[in-house]
Structure 1
């Protein structure tokens, strides 16, 4: 079964706070996601990350177990977990390079208030961009 899962988490320490740190995260994610046939999109903002993951249930669950034990992340707050007919994402990893503009577009000031609806709006906005 093909699913889409999304979570928000606080970043711990220096994770995701510099271009080098983000590049390291994206590089490892790209290798792992290609191996596991996953597509993901990440948005880093003000010490937090929201990530959308699409793939087969077993592969997504395996990634979530790794993320749940990743010392760079705080507790994962699940925003959505749903079956999908087809993927909206087409690449192993994408990163939103305009996080503030994306949040402004959907009327959010931070990632603490991301809901399933605002997540879908952000995803549509990023895909259309």
Structure 2
């Protein structure tokens, strides 16, 4: 069975703040997700990281155990964890470009961790399309 997991965490230190840090995070995510047949997307905004991942239950549980002990994350909040019929994300890890005006417009200025899974998915899609 396929599951979709939406979570938000706070970035620690310079996680995702520099091109080098971002490349390192994306590279590791792509390698691990490709190996585990997990697909998804992530967005960095300020000190928050949003991730939406899809895969088998055991693979998502393993991913969450890694994130929980990763020193680049803290204050992990699972927004949604549910079974789904099909994948929305095809790539091992897609980066959603952050446009601060787009995020402010779609979040109403609220912290991302307070948004619903539907709001987060719409935000990630809208901001990625606008940045393209």
* TM-score using structure 1 length: 0.89
Aligned residues: 129
State the shift of 1:93 in Å. Answer: 0.7
* Secondary structure of 1:76's aligned partner: strand
More displaced stretch, 72-81 vs 105-114: 105-114
RMSD of aligned Cα (Å): 1.9
Kept in 2: contact 1:44–1:99 (CA 8 A): no
Q: How does 1:80-91 map to 2 (within 5 A)?
A: 80-91=80-91
* Secondary structure of 1:75's aligned partner: strand
* TM-score using structure 2 length: 0.87
Partner of 2:108: 108
**Cα separation, 2, equivalents of 1:123 and 1:48:** 13
Kept in 2: contact 1:30–1:93 (CA 8 A): yes
Kept in 1: contact 2:6–2:80 (CA 8 A): yes
Partner of 1:125: 126
State the shift of 1:124 in Å. Answer: 4.6
Partner of 1:42: 42
In the alignment, structure 1 residue 18 sits paired with structure 2 residue 21: no
Uncovered stretches (5+) of structure 2, i.e. residues with no partner: none
The verdict on how the C-alpha distance between 1:107 and 1:71 changes in structure 2, with shifts beyond 3 A counting, is closer
State the shift of 1:127 in Å. Answer: 7.4
State the shift of 1:72 in Å. Answer: 0.8
